[in-house]
Every structure is written in structure tokens, then in C-alpha cells.
Structure 1
Amino acid sequence: MIRYAHTNLIAKDWKQLVEFYEAVFECIPIPPDRDLSGEWLDKATGLENANIRGIHLRMPGYEEGGPTLEIFEYNEMPERPKIETNTPGFSHIAFAVDDVQAFAEKVIAQGGSFVGDLTERHIEGVGDLVFQYVADPEGNIIELQSWIKNRA
């Protein structure tokens, strides 16, 4: 069996980032809050004296047991390089929304920022896509997208 479980997002301030994802995308906290440390964690992470605090958030559109966004903060973290849409590695998380512009405005109202402009594109054989890249308050890139599928 294979099933997608979660995506981990390391935050400078996990509580602030949790509030953002709850307010904008209606993610639901799944208790308990985590406060993890010990030899087992050092072994798993390859770090010494690691301490992780955070929580899992159920992604919108899923029932209990669905995939989560795991927002964690470590006791010690290096400075993060500036992430662009073309930075190698995981680039962004995407949310399907009914109104891209309205959600982009919610992102801004909650302390996020614009990365690119609202864009529309017809993709032959697939449909019409409206999307925009934005960033959460810590600079993590989010794609907001809305599809109108081709009708057969």
C-alpha cells in the first residue's frame, strides 16, 4: 500500500505560520502539539540536541486521516536562503480555490506577499487555468489555482 501522508514545513515561528494556514486555507489543527526531543530524534535527524515543536494541520478538502501539513520549528536553525520559483528542491504547495484573486487578497491580508501576477492560460486538451504564485509570511511559495476543465 502507498498513500501520501504529509508535507513538512520548517518555520521560524510555527505558531504564527499555523495561524496563517488556518485563517487563509481553513486548515484544521490535529492535536496534540508536538514537543519532541531525545536521543531518538537526534538519531533520526542527524542533529545534536534537536528539539522540534509544532503541529499537523489537516489539508482542506480531506476528512480525518487525510494528508497533513506538518509545521515544525527547531530549537536551532540555519539562515534560510531566498527561495524563488525556480530554486531546486521542493518549490511550492498548491491549493485549488474557487476564486484565485480573492484568495490572493486573503494571503496579503494575513501577512503574505505576491510572487507573480494573476495569470490565465488555456491548455489544449486539459482546460482553462487561472493561477497566481504568492508567499506565506515566511516566504514559502504557494500556488493558488482554479481550473475549468474541457467539456466533452
Structure 2
Amino acid sequence: MKIKYVHTNIIANDWKKVSLFYQKVFGCKPIPPERNLKGEWVDKLTGLPDAHITGEHLALPGYEGSFPTLEIFSYGSMINNNSKEINNVGFGHLAFEVDDVENVLQRIKEEGGGQVGELIKAEYPNNVIATLVYAKDIEGNIIELQSWETKSDV
């Protein structure tokens, strides 16, 4: 049995703005073509009458060749009734390993995103230090930034 993780989907109020946010902050790259999906097969797949989906896939940083993508779509008709909190049941957050958590957090804020909790440093086994923070993109989706280093012997 073949199993392969393919993508994570974000439904956005404005897919173009959200896509641009992930391109600017994380260096994600659009994978053509842009999607403009509608018709009987989309209605059957989604269970929605007259469904119309637009958006694109983004290549995530750190992969070459065959890779999972971030799929950012908007529907012609959407429901906005879910609050995005760190402890909600269901999808929680995207995580990116970065060289400089503080710098990327600042870029997120400059592009219209925000910060959830405090930036912390945590000690892990084997002299490993993690720098971690939760942030939000421009539509409130939660992003974890993480950086890992080994403590130098003193």
C-alpha cells in the first residue's frame, strides 16, 4: 500500500493575499497553474451546489523535486464561523524551522500577521535548545516558528 503526504489546505478570504504572505515571509513558490475549479465534479466532491474554487499550490521551502505543498484556496461562497485559537480541536498550526525566529517573527508582523504567545527558549535532552513562538498569518491561521541548536560545552 502506497501512502504519501501531499498537501495542507488553507481556505482563505483572499487567497491571493494569503499566498503572497507565505511567499514573502517563508519563500514559498507558486506552482502553476492557478486553480479555477467548478462544474459538476467539484459540486459532487465538495457536496456544495455551484461550488467555485480558486487558488494555487505553493512549494514549501526545504524540499526539492517531489514535495508536499501548501494549497491556498477561496470558495465563491464561504462560511466564516470558526475562531482560530491555539487550543481549538482540529487543525492547529503550520510549523516552519527557521534560522532566526525573531527575524522571521518580525517579517510576519511587517506583512500584517501577528504573534500569539511569547517567544521562548526551552531546553531539550542532549543539550539541545529550542527557540519557539506561535504567530498568525494575515487571516489568523496559526504558524509555529522553531529553531534548534546544541549548547556549547562550557
TM-score normalised to structure 2 length: 0.94
Shift of the 103–45 alpha-carbon distance from structure 1 to 2, 3 Å rule, reads same
Deviation at 1:126? 7.4
Partner in structure 1 of residue 73 of structure 2: 72
Aligned residue for 1:34, secondary structure, equals strand
Aligned residue for 1:76, secondary structure, equals coil
Partner in structure 2 of residue 48 of structure 1: 49
Partner in structure 2 of residue 89 of structure 1: 90
Shift of the 23–36 alpha-carbon distance from structure 1 to 2, 3 Å rule, reads same
Q: Which whole-Å deviations, capped at 9, do the CAs of 1:21-60 have from their partners, x for residues lacking one?
A: 0000000000000000011011111111100000000000
Amino acid at match of 1:74: Y
Aligned residue for 1:139, secondary structure, equals coil
Partner in structure 2 of residue 124 of structure 1: 125
CA RMSD of aligned residues (A): 1.4
TM-score normalised to structure 1 length: 0.95
Partner in structure 1 of residue 35 of structure 2: 34
Give every structure 1 segment of 4 or more consecutive aligned residues whose post-TM-superposition deviation is greater than 4 Å: none
Partner in structure 1 of residue 100 of structure 2: 99
Aligned residue for 2:53, secondary structure, equals strand
Deviation at 1:4? 1.3
Partner in structure 1 of residue 12 of structure 2: 11
